[in-house]
Amino acid sequence: MKFYITTPIYYVNDIPHIGHSYTTIAADILARWKRLNGFDVYFLTGTDEHGTKIAQAAKEKGKTPQELCDEMSEKFKEAWKLLNITNDDFIRTTEKRQEYTVQTIAQALFDKKLIFKNKYEALYCVGCEKFLAEKDLDENGCCPDHKTKPVLQSEENYFFKLSSFQDELLERITNAAHKQHIEIQPEERRNEIVGKIKLGLEDISISRTAVDWGIHLPFDKEQTAYVWIDALINYITGVGYPDNKEMFEKYWPADVHLMAKDILWFHSVIWPAVLMGAGLATPKKVYSHGFFTLNGSKMSKTLGNVISPQELVEKFGVDAARYLAVSLIPFGPDGDISWTGLTLKYNVDLANNLGNLISRTIKMAEKYFDLKVPQCSPDFELAKKTAKILEDDFTPAINNLYFHKAAQALQNAVTTVNQQIENDAPWKLAKTDPEKLPACIYSYLQAADLIAIHLLAFMPETAEKIWSVCAAQENIEETAKKYFKDKIIPEKGFSVSGAQLQQAQVLFPRIIAEEKK
């Protein structure tokens, strides 16, 4: 079974921030989860490096466009390495393979007479890299996202016959039984897309004469491909199209494209239409999330309120940064974050709940059993209860990309074990009924092992630490794959009776909540 997942390729006019991290961490969690469940996963991310905005930014910095792109793409690679992202490839639109694929697709569409030349005049927002209609502007005649007035551009360009795909797009998006159904999530965004398509699709300009920093069209070297046409094609370049037929047939179509809502139209309408025109399969799912605000304000480099991956990691550590980025806000709607909110969730979920469970369990094993797994016949009731919570709540949540719900299911499982410890009161059993004590401690370790297995996708390093501390046998990833395949808790337990445990360590030191200025 294959699973092909992509992030958008990020525009290199700015450094990576929490919005980029949010999408990429979510994609990584899903990729790791699918691998643990036996899928042959291909995970692609990268950078979008052509267009007017890049050329202007490079000029302002006294660099060539290529120099700026080289510098900025490295920052994204460094950020994803820091956040322990397991992408299989990192694509750049300035690579020769991308140029070749873009020109191949453009020529195919031109040969099928789906591309034609026409005079074009419209308002163009450099910040968005797209044309805007009057109805798209705010009351001041500005782009609603960038608060700048678009410029009137008039030139002779090549157009793609998007209008001819209107009926087929509607059919694929609205008919779940269609063999090439395009699922758009969340549902409210799907409804927006469907409504907009029903208003009628217009043919779109796909080239520029005034922009030299781009990929030149194979049938007219005087014109370059519009940056969005160029960017979208990366998804097939990344899996070998057109020359690596074996790889392309193995992984295409994409199982899910992840992105922010501002680029959903390109991915759910223009991109499928281009693919249909070229005779290729369309993506199976397009999933968009909302925008972040920080303390109620839109994040902006100009305002100086952008949170970088490095800042998150410096304050919370890599695994906690991964967890917090996708658990604080539902994956779909807009949401507001703050350093106070991030710190509070860190303390509640990780320091007080998960960290406390591991610490107190190991300390009890040290006090009563010389830091060894108790030698006894394990009681599986707590493990079964923990497994049921995770199976009923965690698994469907992560499969449906509800990462915040998956995180909550993990917390519910941890809370269940902590509550069981309170109910058992081992510190009292040690005095009143010591024969029951070994099975109790063993059951806590067993439940912690199950939680660690499910933590692997979210917090891989923490999961391995818990696995090691609890003296669980075998490799955690191999054990997880066996468990997710068969859902069988081993009779002798993950943590083997008599095995030496490790000293309790503070997984998540508490952080004093202080608003970062």
Residue with tokens 């370049």: 237
2 in helix, strand or coil? strand
CA 50 to chain centre: 23
What is the spatial distance between Cα 190 and Cα 182, in angstroms, rounded to a whole number? 10
Sheet strand arrangement including 204-205? 130-132, 115-125, 151-160, 204-205
Provide the 8-state DSSP code for 495: B
Q: How many angstroms separate the CA atoms of 436 and 430, rounded?
A: 8
Q: Starting from the edge strand earliest in sequence, which strands make up the sheet with 335-337, in order?
A: 297-298, 292-294, 335-337
- Check: CB of residue 235 under 8 Å from CB of residue 266: no
Q: Cis omega before residue 186 (within 30°)?
A: yes
Helices marked H in 392-470: 395-399, 403-424, 426-432, 437-455, 460-469
Amino acid at 213: W
Q: Residue by residue, what is the 3-state secondary structure of 331-373?
A: CCCCEEECHHHHHHHHHHHHHHHHHHHHHHHHHHHHHHHCCEC
Q: What is the β-pairing status of strands 216-217 and 292-294?
A: unpaired
> What is the set of active-site residues?
17, 20, 125, 128, 143, 146, 298, 301
Angle among Cα 89, 92, 95 to the nearest 5 degrees reads 110
C-alpha span between 224 and 219 (Å, rounded): 10
Bridge partners of 151?
124
Contact assessment for residue 257 and residue 235, using Cβ atoms and an 8 Å cutoff: yes
Query: Which of these, 485, 494, 458, 501, lies nearest to 386 by C-alpha position?
Result: 494
* Host H or E run for residue 153: strand 151-160
